[in-house]
């Protein structure tokens, strides 16, 4: 293996995803590329409320600064474990950007986390993990969220 692509959303599952990516990279001598995509802010407009462009730009800027700090910390931890790591931080639709990066980088495997949502949630809202499983041109390792569902 030459490259492992770990797609993270900086949620609670990020540590588990990076850990799995590190284990694969160390076992195979591959480089670990950690990708994070910041989606555009949801803008709600109606007769009473609207978000102006300046506020939307400030939201995206704050998200980028936060992501940069978190990703740099993740990279330091990976390097401390002896893994060659690269960070990729992008804006846009997470699924399409991750698929494009995977097509360009041609990793041997993409690692992504699952939040453990129901099938109904994924049907209504969508799931990046589900989209990768259907459309990626390489194997996809889905790391479970680690939380237990109540029955």
Q: What is the pTM of this model?
A: 0.85
First to last CA, the chain: 40
The total number of residues written for the chain in this structure = 151
Residues 90-143 pLDDT 10s: 999 999 999 999 999 999 999 998 876 555 544 444 588 888 989 999 999 999
Q: Which two tokens stand for residue 95?
A: 């699924």
């Amino acid at each position: 293996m030459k490259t492992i692509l770990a797609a993270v959303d900086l949620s609670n599952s990020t540590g588990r995803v990076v850990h799995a990516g590190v284990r694969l990279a160390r076992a195979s001598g591959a480089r670990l590329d950690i990708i994070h995509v910041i989606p555009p802010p949801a803008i709600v407009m109606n007769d009473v409320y609207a978000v102006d462009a300046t506020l939307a730009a400030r939201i995206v800027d704050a998200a980028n600064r936060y992501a940069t700090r978190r990703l740099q910390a993740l990279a330091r931890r990976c390097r401390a474990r002896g893994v060659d790591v690269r960070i990729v931080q992008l804006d846009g639709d997470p699924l399409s950007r991750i698929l494009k990066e995977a097509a360009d980088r041609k990793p041997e495997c993409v690692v992504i986390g699952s939040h453990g949502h129901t099938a109904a949630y994924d049907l209504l809202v969508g799931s990046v993990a589900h989209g990768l499983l259907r459309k990626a041109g390489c194997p996809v390792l889905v790391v479970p969220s680690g939380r237990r569902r109540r029955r």
